[in-house]
């Protein structure tokens, strides 16, 4: 009954779904990284209000199920006159939600930096901004590449939830193929392998990148 040949016919449909998944993933990784970095900086700001606002952000978005968030954005917001298509709704909500995790990861990276190094930089007369751009962020980001990698792999897996708002990404493409072929076993087996390969490949890339960026730590 297992018939992989069925799959070949539907390769183009899979491929279209994959492209959408890839696009949403890439845009959301970039988006969540930028927002997350800003939130992380607010989290360690000297200003109490900024710190509180950032903590609030992190707590909120880590404690709302993503499915609820995406329903709210896609079906709820139009009620108040905000219309965004499924693709961009996916990108925005993913970026905003995952940014909470990115922020916590980068913050941990920043707080792990030896205080002496930052004081040394201060003593040499670097301005605050320079200390961040030349010292703190490069060290924090390279040291958190691995945990950031896990966050982004999770992001890619979470894109499958976007099938709930009828975005034609990989999972919803598979749903359609499964219902037209009546071969859910093969189709979803294929999907499982596909996500597996995708995240495995990304893990490998991250491991290599981690090694390259952290070459300075090798004694």
Give the interface with another protein as residue ranges (CB under 8 A). Answer: 114, 116-117, 119-127, 130, 134-135, 138-139, 142, 215-219
Phi/psi-derived region of residue 146, left when phi > 0, alpha when psi is between -120 and 50, beta in every other case: alpha
Q: Is 126 helix (H, G, I), strand (E, B) or coil?
A: coil
Residue 62 or 134 having the CB closest to another protein: 134
Q: How far is the CB of 105 from another protein (least distance, A)?
A: 18
d(CA 6, CA 2): 9
d(CA 70, CA 86): 10
Residue 170 · residue 14 · CB < 8 Å: yes
- DSSP tag of 159: G
Q: How far is the CB of 145 from another protein (least distance, A)?
A: 12
- By CB atoms closer than 10 A (0-12, 13-18, 19+), residue 152 is buried
Residue 4 or 116 having the CB closest to another protein: 116
Residue 62 or 128 having the CB closest to another protein: 128
Q: How far is the CB of 139 from another protein (least distance, A)?
A: 5
Residue 130 or 180 having the CB closest to another protein: 130
Neighbours of 191 (CB within 10 A): 21
Residue 47 or 217 having the CB closest to another protein: 217
Q: How far is the CB of 210 from another protein (least distance, A)?
A: 13
d(CA 170, CA 22): 9
Q: How far is the CB of 37 from another protein (least distance, A)?
A: 17
């Amino acid at each position: 009954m297992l018939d992989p040949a069925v799959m070949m016919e539907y390769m183009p449909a899979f491929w279209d779904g994959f492209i959408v998944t890839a696009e949403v993933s890439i845009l959301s990784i970039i988006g969540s990284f930028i927002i997350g970095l800003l939130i992380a900086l607010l989290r360690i700001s000297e200003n109490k209000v900024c710190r509180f606002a950032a903590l609030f952000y992190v707590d909120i978005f880590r404690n709302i199920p993503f499915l609820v968030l995406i329903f709210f954005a896609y079906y709820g917001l139009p009620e108040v006159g905000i219309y965004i298509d499924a693709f961009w709704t996916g990108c925005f909500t993913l970026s905003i939600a995952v940014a909470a995790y990115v922020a916590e990861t980068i913050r941990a990276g920043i707080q792990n930096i030896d205080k002496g190094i930052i004081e040394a930089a201060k003593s040499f007369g670097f301005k605050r901004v320079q200390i961040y751009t030349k010292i703190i962020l490069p060290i924090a980001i390279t040291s958190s590449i691995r945990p950031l990698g896990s966050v982004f792999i999770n992001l890619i897996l979470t894109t499958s939830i976007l099938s709930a708002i009828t975005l034609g990404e990989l999972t919803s493409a598979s749903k359609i193929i499964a219902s037209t072929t009546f071969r859910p076993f093969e189709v979803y087996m294929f999907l499982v392998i596909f996500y597996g390969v995708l995240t495995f490949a990304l893990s490998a890339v991250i491991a290599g990148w981690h090694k390259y960026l952290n070459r300075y730590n090798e004694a």
